[in-house]
Structure 1
């Protein structure tokens, strides 16, 4: 008898096992986009999506300093990035960040 069966499978059936769970872990490449909810004094302003490996949520800090807001604190808690500012610049910071986050 040859190795052929009428059921469509030969006797020498082989199974290929694929491990796709973390296929790119060794290369440290980004598999999905990271997204952070950005808040100013606890009020949501928008979302910062990191589009490539060189992006960082702390880019927001650099942006604010470049726009003339040197005094603020920022805190990353999970996927929430909360920026604390004084009440007198709150609206200006919020408006500036809304434009920044919507144009990206």
Structure 2
């Protein structure tokens, strides 16, 4: 059973705008070249390829918003985090591509 919330990009941007989500609570799991191409400023970057080695640096007491390119890798990371005791997780449906479109940027 999933213990994470799936939220749309518009809801993420709304939460950022009203301050209920801080940029550093967003973990972008895309690889470096994807991150360099387009990103939300202030977000936490932990590529999926090294995520297991970095898990211990992520507090379980915080609420986390997981972001990837299109919302596929973020589901895998949410599942992995859930299996390792994290509960306050939010998967961004559509990923950075959906966020970028709302901000007027053609991601791909």
With normalisation by structure 2, the TM-score equals: 0.22
Greater RCO (Cα-Cα under 8 Å, separation 6 or more): 2
Give the structure with the larger helix fraction. Answer: 2
Structure number with bigger Rg = 1
Give the structure with the larger strand fraction. Answer: 1
